[in-house]
Amino acid sequence: MSEVALNDTVLRTEGGASRAAVLKRLRVTDNLFRLLTRNAALFVLVILSGVIVALVIGALPALQKFGISFVFTEVWNPVTEQFGALAPIYGTLVTSIIAMAIAVPVGIMVAFFLTELCPKWLRRPIAIAIELLAGIPSIIYGIWGLFVFAPFLQKYVQPFLIDTFENVPGLSSLFEGPPYGIGMLTAGLILAIMVLPFITAISRDVFDAVPPVLKEAAFGLGCTRWEVFRHVVLPYTRVGVIGGVMLGLGRALGETMAVTFVIGNAHKISASILQPGTTISASIANEFTEAVSDMYTSSLTALGLILFVITFFVLAAARYMLSRIQKRGG
């Protein structure tokens, strides 16, 4: 064999060996990466399972004693150890509904204004202000709501609502009673301010993702801005908008400190949203350190389990809704 042929054979052998080594290293790295990601996902499931098991074990004495009536009973008396979750559940749902009824339309309108109508020199300051709202701690919202917002509502807004709807059938009971300032309406308004940045930020991002050619085509057909928003932007971004709404709803359902400051913490159900009430998270935060008996502690843990179940079903319903919308849209 000539010297040239020998050198060519050696080079091919060395090249094949180096490629094999590279492929082996990549295979090992890929397997390691797959193992790490799988373990990370399993770790999340383990934590979630641990939380569920801890809540079920802690709530078991109360659930065994009161049964399903625990969910439908309003009485909450630590002295006689008679507990029911109906008032906290009612307060949680009512305050969340009030918050979402205000925050969803306002957040979507603000997002559309920022993406379509706002001058460029004003767009960034408004966006920064919204992001700052999201970064404010909840306890600051609670202090502001108790010492500033609640007195304002008590002096100006609630008397106006009481006088306006006093003789309106159906709405008179919704706005009746003395103007305390604190109550479910105040808590709902505070929650609306807290979830507004999340809905606005996500809606703004998905509105920015709409292809300009779609909007230009609609404008070319003579559509107004409202028609473009209604028939082009919203249908194109409905999945992202619903995801942002569900994120805000999850925050509203579980908010603790801000609501605790302004809701009044009364274990009662009232048709009027101006009256004090309580939520599941506020009840747990207020009373867990005072729970001296096992049944008291178990009842508070059962409240936490109920809140977990409510949040789970809300998120599951949102996921189902998104899948149906995606399937309908092809």
Q: What angle do CA 8, 14, 20 make, to 5 degrees?
A: 135
Helix (H) or strand (E) holding 28, with range, is helix 3-66
Is 97 in the same domain as 205? yes
Per DSSP, the three-state class of 291 is coil
pLDDT, residue 152, reads 94
- Our measurement of the distance from residue 156's CA atom to the centroid of its chain's CA atoms, rounded to an integer in Å, reads 30
Q: Is residue 80 part of a domain?
A: no
Is 129 in the same domain as 254? yes
Is 151 in the same domain as 12? no
pLDDT, residue 328, reads 67
Is 9 in the same domain as 144? no
pLDDT, residue 110, reads 92
Q: Which of these three, 20, 37, 66, is where a domain ends?
A: 66
Is 123 in the same domain as 164? yes
Count of the separate structural domains present in the chain: 2
Is 96 in the same domain as 179? yes
Residues of the chain predicted below pLDDT 50: 1, 6-7, 10-11
Q: Is residue 259 part of a domain?
A: yes
Is 149 in the same domain as 42? no
Q: Is residue 72 part of a domain?
A: no
Q: Is residue 224 part of a domain?
A: yes
- Our measurement of the distance from residue 179's CA atom to the centroid of its chain's CA atoms, rounded to an integer in Å, reads 29
Is 309 in the same domain as 187? yes
pLDDT, residue 60, reads 93
Is 162 in the same domain as 191? yes
| CA–CA dist 193, 190 (Å, integer) | 5
Q: Is residue 208 part of a domain?
A: yes
- Domain span holding position 13: 1-66
Q: Is residue 6 part of a domain?
A: yes
pLDDT, residue 297, reads 92
pLDDT, residue 2, reads 55
Q: Is residue 289 part of a domain?
A: yes
- Our measurement of the distance from residue 112's CA atom to the centroid of its chain's CA atoms, rounded to an integer in Å, reads 21
How are beta strands 76-77 and 82-83 bridged, if at all? antiparallel
pLDDT, residue 3, reads 53
Q: Is residue 71 part of a domain?
A: no
Is 149 in the same domain as 247? yes
pLDDT, residue 16, reads 58
Per DSSP, the three-state class of 83 is strand
Is 224 in the same domain as 257? yes
pLDDT, residue 10, reads 45
Is 49 in the same domain as 99? no
Q: What is the CATH number of the domain that holds 228?
A: 1.10.3720.10
10 Å Cβ neighbour count for 160? Answer: 13
Pair of tokens at residue 146 = 């108790």
